[in-house]
Structure 1
Amino acid sequence: MGTWNGRLGVVEFATAGTDLDTARIVAARIAILEDDGAELARWDWGSDRAEAVVGEVVQTLRVLMAVGIPIATFDAAAGLTVLDRECRRRQITPWDVFAPVLDPLLLDEILDPAFDGRRSLNAMAERYGVAPGSLAAGRIVREMLARDGLDGSPAHLHDRQRRLDDEWPVAPLDDIRLIEDTQPIPAPAPRPSGTVPVLDFTDSIPVQLEIEAPEEPVEPIVEEVVEGDVEGDVERPPASRRIHVAAAIVTDTAGRAVVVRKRGTTGYMQPGGKIERGESALSALIRELREELGLEVDVDATEFLGSYEAAALNEPGRTVRAEVFALVTDSELHPAAEIDALHWLESPTDVESVELAPLTLDVMLPLWAARRPALF
């Protein structure tokens, strides 16, 4: 049976987006539960406080860390990775996560490794006899700590969870460019914390600061994409390296779309290229189309279609994440720089005239097909 029954912090996040590098925290809640599960203190950040949420959440977690209160959060690898990326994006020093974190998902794997049912938050609340809803993760952890198999301090349990996933609780960042704002809108200004909660306890608080920074650096630089709701079932696909690019469906006034082939390769792809550090996707697109095709982009006539992924054509085992734009031009295009040839596709069904990249086949042609009737 567990040996720790002190106060417990609980953090919950509401996020917009499922990609951990680009998702945004839009609301958050931090609470402190007494040893009987009663709520001692709570702070809420709603959508009306979105500009302050990241900095204030991080500072509040630092306060709890300083007084030795462990943190319970459901699927820490998702929520705390998003928090890390938000801090970096907003130029806020990230939370170092040296305080114990208790994740019901991993603790349940320790308690019942043979269980093959649902591990969503609501399903776990039912299994452990906890009311679903706000702060359920903390109360589930309370129930878990009362069972055989979770002996030791929160710091010890933190270490046991880390052995299940060496990238837990924050996945390493592959490329800083992946977290930067790439939409064709101004990047938000840094938003440091303005106010933080004040903790005023009249009795002593058990200190559990036994975790130290890892002696060896975490292995390398791979990135995970997690699909689905943060509070739903968690099934992580294999990690893979991603190439971040800006690409465009460039059509002429006759309704044809251009694809290009790089020197030394055989396949054709959409014009565009890699986004450089500190560069927006739109800026990258403007630069690449000028360099590759001699095309001056009319920004006002350029439409952003969204972010998409596909396998990389020329780099096996890697994935391309493309910020996709569309534009129509009557300019004459000429291959330049690393582009060896260009080819005009007559229609979205023209898939055999040349070898096409997966991004073109799987993403660009369907987007083009959906847009074409309204334009030509």
Structure 2
Amino acid sequence: MGNWQERLAVAEFAISGTDLDTARMVAARVAVLDEDGSELARWDWGSDRADAVVGEVAQTLRTLLVLGIPLATFDAATGLTVLDHECRRRGIEPLAEPAPVLDPLLLDALIEPEYEGSRTLNAMAERYDVEPGSLAAGRIVRAMSERDEFSGTPSNLHARQRGMRDGWPVLPLEDIRIIEDTQPIPAPDPRPSDTVPMFDFSDGGMLALEPAPERAVAPSPAPRRIHVAAAIVTDTAGRAIVVRKQGTTGFMQPGGKIERGESALATLIRELREELGLEVDVDATEFLGSYEAAALNEPGQTVRAEVFALVTDADLTPAAEIDAVYWLESPDDTDSVELAPLTLDVMLPLWAARRPALF
């Protein structure tokens, strides 16, 4: 196989589910193995470090792959796809076409295409006489390299595996909105601790396996969407209420950010109760759809709103973080107060379209 066997990286991922669009990476391990299978270096991320795992794993793999160290990982399409989606979800730069990747699951199919037995990691470890457990994927790849059927450079093998599965090793994402959280997660520093390898060119361009925090440079965070539930709340006279939060100048629809694990309707019920003292009648509340607009108070950010409509005769008074309320007389009332882009671009046209049938 060649001198690439002097160094082999191994990655193991623990993810929270089987749906690649919604799964989360909760733990990971990356190691560099010597040619005899011993560990030269290892980095572990447990569930107690879930806030750092995505950025640090991506940085670690990026560094090792740039150095030309092949990466062995079992069922690469699952682990690397979830890592890719987690990076995009959190505004972290994903790995750009990671290669070469050596996946024992696919390589075994190249070696023994007619084999009909189990191809679980433990079953393959037994077949290739490798001790199961931590880092077994890398040691299986080394055992495979001793087989006559296993030939080619890591790049050649990577290309052959790509031909077996479309999009491998990172399955394509058709729409970023599919993987967005209900509440955007603040993007962590891609290297927020001293646990991942970095380049060190101060001494002949060698890889620094020791921490070099002063060399870490965080990329500019990607714009994120702020996911909210908002409502066109009208009174029996046909007016629509807008609210202004404390410390701001613009008025917007009542509502607020959707918390993780919370439905848009649950958010609406909670926010209208807190902001206006309004108890929402769910049966009389209509869902109008999902819309996007520029955020009023977060420059450069986008608001994605789950929009509802309801009519009430309740006495609405500002509470919690609401500093003032204003009743718009009609959808054409755009100059009386400063209005948020979501209100101007989305809410007023929706209100204009439905108002004749209601009032």
Same-fold status (TM-score > 0.5): yes
Separation in structure 2 between the aligned mates of residue 98 and residue 248 of structure 1, nearest angstrom: 40
- Aligned partner of 2:72 in structure 1 is 72
1:273 to partner: Cα distance: 4.0
Q: Pick 1 or 2: higher relative contact order, CA cutoff 8 A, min separation 6.
A: 1
Change in Cα spacing, 1:151 to 1:258, as seen in structure 2 (3 Å) is farther
Change in Cα spacing, 1:275 to 1:108, as seen in structure 2 (3 Å) is farther
TM-score for both structures, normalised by structure 2: 0.58
Asked if residue 8 in structure 1 is aligned to residue 5 in structure 2, the reply is: no
Structure 1 runs of 4+ with >2 Å offset? 2-6, 195-200, 202-205, 246-249, 256-260, 271-280, 293-296
Q: Which runs of 5+ in 2 are unaligned?
A: 207-262, 267-281, 294-301, 314-351, 355-359
**Contact 2:27–2:53 at 8 Å: present in 1 too?**
yes
- Aligned partner of 1:188 in structure 2 is 185
Q: Which amino acid aligns with 2:175?
A: D
Separation in structure 1 between the aligned mates of residue 137 and residue 89 of structure 2, nearest angstrom: 27
**Contact 2:12–2:28 at 8 Å: present in 1 too?**
yes
TM-score for both structures, normalised by structure 1: 0.55
Tell me, what secondary structure is at the counterpart of 1:10? strand
Cα deviation 1:19-72 (Å, max 9, x = unaligned): 112211111110011111111111111122221111111111121112211000
1:8 to partner: Cα distance: 0.4
Q: Which amino acid aligns with 2:126?
A: E
Change in Cα spacing, 1:198 to 1:176, as seen in structure 2 (3 Å) is closer
- Aligned partner of 1:367 in structure 2 is none
Q: Which amino acid aligns with 1:20?
A: L
Percent of aligned pairs with the same residue?
58
- Aligned partner of 1:115 in structure 2 is 115
- Aligned partner of 2:170 in structure 1 is 170
- Aligned partner of 1:179 in structure 2 is 179
Q: Which amino acid aligns with 1:190?
A: A
- Aligned partner of 1:139 in structure 2 is 139
Q: Which amino acid aligns with 2:139?
A: R
**Contact 1:247–1:273 at 8 Å: present in 2 too?**
no
**Contact 2:199–2:205 at 8 Å: present in 1 too?**
no
Q: Which runs of 5+ in 1 are unaligned?
A: 206-245, 250-255, 261-270, 297-335, 339-376
**Contact 1:30–1:43 at 8 Å: present in 2 too?**
yes
Q: Which amino acid aligns with 1:60?
A: T
Q: Which amino acid aligns with 1:23?
A: A
- Aligned partner of 1:208 in structure 2 is none
Separation in structure 2 between the aligned mates of residue 135 and residue 72 of structure 1, nearest angstrom: 9
- Aligned partner of 1:56 in structure 2 is 56
Tell me, what secondary structure is at the counterpart of 1:168? coil
Separation in structure 2 between the aligned mates of residue 174 and residue 294 of structure 1, nearest angstrom: 38
1:197 to partner: Cα distance: 2.5
Cα deviation 1:89-123 (Å, max 9, x = unaligned): 11111011343000011101111111122211111
**Contact 2:62–2:95 at 8 Å: present in 1 too?**
yes
**Contact 2:126–2:132 at 8 Å: present in 1 too?**
yes
Tell me, what secondary structure is at the counterpart of 2:99? coil
1:128 to partner: Cα distance: 1.2
* Cα root mean square deviation, aligned: 3.6
Tell me, what secondary structure is at the counterpart of 2:42? strand
- Aligned partner of 2:341 in structure 1 is none
Separation in structure 2 between the aligned mates of residue 175 and residue 68 of structure 1, nearest angstrom: 31
- Within a 5 Å distance, the mapping from 1:26-37 to structure 2 comes to 26-37=26-37
Separation in structure 1 between the aligned mates of residue 117 and residue 290 of structure 2, nearest angstrom: 42
Change in Cα spacing, 1:259 to 1:62, as seen in structure 2 (3 Å) is same
**Contact 1:247–1:272 at 8 Å: present in 2 too?**
no
**Contact 1:72–1:102 at 8 Å: present in 2 too?**
yes
**Contact 1:177–1:275 at 8 Å: present in 2 too?**
no
Change in Cα spacing, 1:258 to 1:53, as seen in structure 2 (3 Å) is same
1:187 to partner: Cα distance: 2.5
**Contact 1:9–1:31 at 8 Å: present in 2 too?**
yes
Tell me, what secondary structure is at the counterpart of 1:5? helix
Cα deviation 1:280-311 (Å, max 9, x = unaligned): 6xx41xx0x32xx7699xxxxxxxxxxxxxxx
